[in-house]
Structure 1
Amino acid sequence: MLQLIMTFAMLSLLAVGGANSTMLEIHRQSVVVHQWLTDAEFTTLFALTQAAPGPNVLIVSLIGWKVAGLTGGVVTTLAMCGPSSVLAFAVARLSDRFRDSPWRRWIQRGLAPVAVGMVLGSAGLLVQMTGVNSMCWLVAGVSTAIFLCTRLHPLWVLACAGALNLWLGA
């Protein structure tokens, strides 16, 4: 239980941009380092949390639940949310105090690409774990072009892309 707390409290402080930004490290810690889950279990839990309504941090609760039952789920959720919430509160107070400082603006501008990079790294891991092939990339590219070039409702595009992927066996 202590290992769960320490692992997710540390990850909490790295979660610039939310839990999805640390998905790469959550995977590494859960699958590679501690071997709490297999790649397939991690992918399943991630898919479940994305399909469920609510915050993306739900994956942490499910990992804790898988490792140590209900207590593990509660503990990992608190460990992931607690430290970052305290840090965010402290930074908000400092940010108000130094709102006109150039350092504040530089830090804000610098953290945006960090968050984007962490999210892209996590997305790359998830794509790699699911075994996506070139046909999936083609469907994703065409779907993106349709999103950008038409006013078609996104749910229709997603439904058609999903059906096409099923039909093609991708």
Structure 2
Amino acid sequence: MPLSLTVCTPLALTDLGNLLQVLWTFLSLSLFSLGGGNTLLSEYHHLSVVQYCWLSSSQFADIYALAEAAPGPSSMIVGLLGMGAAWKEGAWWSLLSGYGAEAAILLPSTLLMVVACLSWNKFKNSPWRVAFERGLGPITLGILFAVGLKILQTADTNIPGVIVSVLVCVLMLRTRISPLWFMAVAGLLGGLGLINR
């Protein structure tokens, strides 16, 4: 039976309804960002590459690298995804989409954390608090591991890139070498054309 290939067409954000739909999507994801904004990276990839077709997988990897290289919160990628989503509609829509997506992802979780921090000390000796805190650790680590795998799938598309990624992971886990050295060596290998995406 032949497989039918569906062509993914980007969602036009100049339509206010589509823009509101995108903002609502990020707003609803905000409260699920346990452990930081990177925990939702797989969902961000699904939304921007598969569901809404804003970006290619390669463009998503580039935006992720840019968001990680810049100082600031890891959820900065959402603003860049919002800008990338509306880039074809022009600078004004791109900025509106970027700022809107960033506000949508940060506002609910920030307000929840402020409320939680203000009331968390009331439960200082509660066994529920201790159980909650201990339970979130493994959950967050599992989510971050899944994010790491998604980045490997997205960024590494050739054998030398995969080898370098695996080697860096092993060295990071087994040694105390600064991650800056790994970034410098990977940048040099990329600059020399020995590894690429």
Fold match by TM threshold 0.5: yes
Return the structure number with greater helix share.
1
SS at match of 2:35: coil
The separation in 1 between residues aligned to 2:164 and 2:75, in whole angstroms, is 29
The equivalent of 2:113 in structure 1 is: 88
Q: Is the 8 A contact 1:147 1:154 kept in 2?
A: no
Q: What is the aligned-residue identity percentage?
A: 34
**Structure 1: 4+ residue segments shifted above 6 A:** none
Q: Which runs of 5+ in 1 are unaligned?
A: none
The separation in 2 between residues aligned to 1:101 and 1:136, in whole angstroms, is 48
The equivalent of 2:11 in structure 1 is: none
The separation in 1 between residues aligned to 2:58 and 2:189, in whole angstroms, is 24
1:94 shift after superposition: 3.1
Change (3 A) 1:157 1:38: closer
Is residue 4 from structure 1 mapped to residue 22 from structure 2 by the alignment? Answer: yes
The equivalent of 1:45 in structure 2 is: 63
The separation in 2 between residues aligned to 1:35 and 1:76, in whole angstroms, is 16
**Residue identity opposite 2:156 in structure 1:** G
The equivalent of 2:34 in structure 1 is: 16
1:11 shift after superposition: 1.4
The separation in 2 between residues aligned to 1:44 and 1:146, in whole angstroms, is 22
1:59 shift after superposition: 1.0
Q: Which runs of 5+ in 2 are unaligned?
A: 1-18, 87-92
Task: Kindly tell me the number of residue pairs found equivalent between the two proteins.
Answer: 169
The separation in 2 between residues aligned to 1:82 and 1:19, in whole angstroms, is 13
Alignment of 1:138-153 (within 5 A): 138-140=163-165, 142-143=167-168, 144-145=170-171, 148-149=174-175
1:111 shift after superposition: 0.9
Is residue 159 from structure 1 mapped to residue 179 from structure 2 by the alignment? Answer: no
Alignment of 1:100-139 (within 5 A): 100-133=125-158, 135-139=160-164
Change (3 A) 1:47 1:157: closer
1:14 shift after superposition: 0.5
**Residue identity opposite 2:74 in structure 1:** N
2:77 alignment partner, one of 56, 59, 62: 59
1:15 shift after superposition: 0.3
Structural RMSD (CA): 2.5
Q: Is the 8 A contact 1:147 1:157 kept in 2?
A: no
**Residue identity opposite 1:86 in structure 2:** L
Which protein has greater RCO, CA pairs closer than 8 Å, 6+ apart?
1
